[in-house]
Structure 1
Amino acid sequence: MAASAASAIVMDLVQRWGVMKRDISSTPPNLGLFSFDAHVLGGALIGLGMAVTGSCPGTSFVQAGTGSLHGALVVLGGLLGGITFVSLTRARAKRQPQTAEDPPHPEVSGTQSKTPLDIATALGIPPFVLLLIWVPMCLAVMRIAFAKDRSQPSLPNPGLVPPAYGGLLIGLAQLVTILLTGHAIGASSGYEDVARWLEGKLVSGSPKVEASRKLLTGPVMFAAGIVCSAAIQNYLFGSGRPLSNLEYPHMSTLLALRAVAGGWAMVLGARVARGCTSGHGISGLSKFSLPSLVTTASMFGMGIATAAALKY
């Protein structure tokens, strides 16, 4: 009986994985410039914002949950980025009217690409073979990164577990989210959902469309869960003080503006690319999505370049 139940769970997981793979890669956004142009541009904006703020759309929720003013300002900037994306999408939809049977898609509109949308197909190898290559490669990269990293011992609060174990916990959260909801984790869509809810409240339009805009969507509840869990963990296991305030003890006007601007760039880029460090870097790469690989490479490339330019 236990084996049958376990088998049923595994089969359900595989089926859900297949659905999510089609969802994330079947209609990649396209700006009409070149293949994966939205992923390159969006990833670059995410990397720029990450380097400026030292955060990402997901970790900013964690920082805000600990009571960090810097994290809250990044979240505020992210909400402004979501509003900007919604406004640009609405303006584009007005220039390209659609029929009643084909309502405007909430994401950047695009056409089906003939380019392979998963890494295994692009390389011409079976997915299982790619998995056998992928896991050792990731472990090797982690080993090299930790061997050269000298920042961990100097951190004021290294955390409850080492970073590698923290990554495993994130992967476990991915598994639980897939099993319970059938969707992969992602943080940036919550900003857009709040922006669309605000648009429905502040901008007059179709009553039917406005009625369909709900505040407590799945992504918004996911973000709320991150904030609440971060607050609880900081209270129970931390110092009770905002963790990132140890890094930013004095909030200057310039630092506050940089946090808001960086949050704006991150979320705008994440919505253009249809995902951020969690949606593409974790969920997309775990499904060997080629658009996610392009986005991740673009975001980290721009982040490294920005950090070098700012002489971090």
Structure 2
Amino acid sequence: MAAAVVSGAAFGAALMAAGFHNPALVIEQLKFENWHMLQAFLAATATSGLIYAVAERVGYVKLQPRSSSPLGLFAKYDGNIVGGALLGVGMALSGSCPGTLYPQLAAGVRTGFYALAGAGVGGILWTGFLSKAAKKQREDAGVKPEAGVVSEALGLSKATTLLLLEAACLAVIALTTVYTPRNTNTMLPGATGGLLIGLAQLVSVLTRRSMVGISGSYEEMGHVFWWLVGGAAPGARPASYQNMLFASGVAAGAWGLLRAVPALAAAPAVEVPPPLAVAGGVLMVVGSRMAGGCTSGHGISGISLLSASSLITIATTFAVGGLVAPLVY
């Protein structure tokens, strides 16, 4: 219990330090006007990959790659594609993702409160109806999740594939840094913020022997809701509260760092219209649960484990979000 809160607090503090209390970072990234988010994302992923490689090598932890989320509609990874697309639309509408809305709450950004309300609704819809429909579709189609890794698809060793991932991350960070002006909305450069997020990943690996991921907290919220209103099976109780404890830690960590360093949120934050924030919150949670993870679970953690499903999910998220954001803003 304490480990979940501590690792969540480290993650929340890192997100706040990286400037993710401001919805503008998400919106401008999806409009390809500001590369701060991508730089932080890639730096965090690259750092996480190295941290996990060392932890696995010394025998401290061994984690399985993220499994696919098939629906049996049109492709092996169709659930990752559909879920990633919904996640991308939700991020574009809300200027948030399942993790960054907590720094928004800590900074008093109203968008975060509306996005959280939508995320809660998304968790309720997913646990009450949509997860059952997805499960039935898989059973009818006779498909099951599979744990594929990028190294196998490329015919390379894990070590070689990790080196290629590290090189690609560094190359994109360097290229976007050269062609992107200094971001005046944040105190730290994107890559520096990403390194801090990577250090939060280290805290998670050391304390919980697992990696960060937050969208599961909304699913747990949904289970709690249905249990409280009597919509669950008689006598059923939520199976776990670990993800909710982690999310609580994220909010506390972001709030605590902001109290210690108020200048982190000194620049005015962009506010998203409430209907868009709520709708985005619903879509990003439904999408992330359909895909089996969000920008933290699939992105920072899953890609660092060389999970094929994570790479497909996140590529779809940014591609679709990049199409929608310019149309909305």
Alignment TM class, shorter chain as reference: 0.7 to 0.9
1:294 aligns with 2:312: yes
- The answer on whether the counterparts of 1:68 and 1:245 sit within 8 Å (CA) in structure 2 is no
Partner of 1:238: 262
Paired residue for 2:216, among 150, 169, 189?
A: 189
* Distance in 2, Cα, partners of 1:143 & 1:94: 42
Which whole-Å CA distance do the structure 1 matches of 2:129 and 2:182 have between them?
Answer: 40
SS state of the match for residue 63, structure 2?
A: helix
Say yes or no: does 1:20 pair with 2:64: yes
CA distance change for structure 1 residues 244 and 298 in 2, over 3 Å: closer, same or farther?
farther
93 and 137 in structure 1: CA distance in 2 versus 1, 3 angstrom threshold: closer
Pick one of 70, 76, 83 that aligns with 1:30: 70
Per-residue deviation at 1:229? Answer: 1.4
Contact 1:70 1:244 in 2 (8 A): no
After TM superposition, the structure 1 stretch with the greater mean CA deviation from structure 2, 50-59 or 290-299, is 50-59
TM-score, length basis structure 1: 0.79
Q: CA RMSD in A?
A: 2.6
Q: Which residue of 1 aligns with 2:101?
A: 60
CA distance in 1, matches of 2:119, 2:294: 12
* Aligned position for 1:269: 287
Q: Which one of 160, 180, 193 corresponds to residue 166 of structure 1?
A: 193
Whole-Å separation in 2 of the counterparts to 1:290 and 1:93: 21
Q: Does 1:224 align with 2:248?
A: yes
In 2, are the aligned partners of 1:20 and 1:184 still within 8 Å (CA)?
no
SS, match of residue 237 in structure 2: helix
Larger displacement relative to structure 2 (128-137 or 281-290): 128-137
Following superposition, the deviation at residue 309 of structure 1 comes to 2.4
Give the gaps of 5 or more residues in structure 1. Answer: 1-8, 99-108
Contact 2:119–2:281 at 8 Å: present in 1 too? Answer: yes
**2:97 is matched by which residue type in structure 1?**
C
Amino acid at match of 2:323: A
State which structure, 1 or 2, has the greater radius of gyration over its C-alpha atoms. 1
User: In the alignment, is the contact (CA less than 8 A) between 2:90 and 2:280 conserved in 1?
Assistant: yes
Task: Please state if 1:73 is matched with 2:114.
Answer: yes
Of 300, 304, 315, the match for 1:282: 300
Partners of 1:81 and 1:264 within 8 A in 2: yes
Q: Unaligned stretches of 5+ in structure 2?
A: 1-53
Equivalent pair of 2:223/2:238 in contact (CA under 8 Å): no
Superposed CA offset, 1:253-295 (max 9, x none): xx11110001111111000001000011100000010000000
Q: Which amino acid is the alignment partner of residue 173 of structure 1?
A: A
Conserved in 1, the CA contact under 8 Å of 2:86 and 2:283?
Answer: yes
Q: Give a deviation string over 1:226-261, Cα, whole Å, max 9, x none.
A: 111111222221159x7686323xx7xxx1111000
Question: What is the CA-CA distance between 1:67 and the residue it aligns to?
Answer: 1.9
The percent of aligned pairs where both chains have the same amino acid is 33
Q: CA shift at 1:181, angstroms?
A: 1.0
Against the structure 1 CA distance between its residues 307 and 206, is the aligned structure 2 distance closer, same or farther, given a 3 Å change threshold?
closer
TM superposition shift of 1:91: 4.2
Q: Deviations over 1:189-248 (max 9, x none)?
A: 10110110111111244344x23445xx111111111111111222221159x7686323
Deviations 1:149-183 (A, max 9, x none): 23713x2xx13x32211101111111211221122
What is the CA–CA distance in structure 2 between the aligned matches of 1:166 and 1:139, rounded to whole Å? 14
What TM-score, normalized to structure 2? 0.75
| Matching of residues 117-156 of structure 1 within 5 Å | 117-150=148-181, 152-153=183-184, 155=185
Whether contact under 8 Å (2:131, 2:290) holds in the other structure is no
Q: Which amino acid aligns with 2:148?
A: L
Deviations 1:113-163 (A, max 9, x none): 4xx71100000011111122111111010111222223713x2xx13x322
Contact 1:83 1:196 (C-alpha < 8 Å) held by counterparts: yes
Shift of 1:19: 2.9
Structure 2 residue 270 is matched with structure 1 residue 247: yes
Q: Which amino acid aligns with 2:158?
A: P
Q: How many residues are paired up? A: 272
Letter in 1 for 2:153: A
Q: How far apart, CA to CA, are the structure 2 residues paired with 1:140 and 1:11?
A: 26
Counterparts of 2:131 and 2:174 in 1: how far apart (Å)?
46
- Equivalent-residue separation in structure 2 for 1:148 and 1:282 (angstroms): 24
CA distance in 1, matches of 2:325, 2:233: 45
Cα distance in 2 for residues equivalent to 1:184 and 1:174? 6
Amino acid of the residue matched to residue 29 of structure 1?
A: S
Query: 1:45: how far off?
Result: 0.7
Q: In structure 2, what is the equivalent of residue 4 of structure 1?
A: none
Q: Is the 8 A contact 1:44 1:298 kept in 2?
A: yes
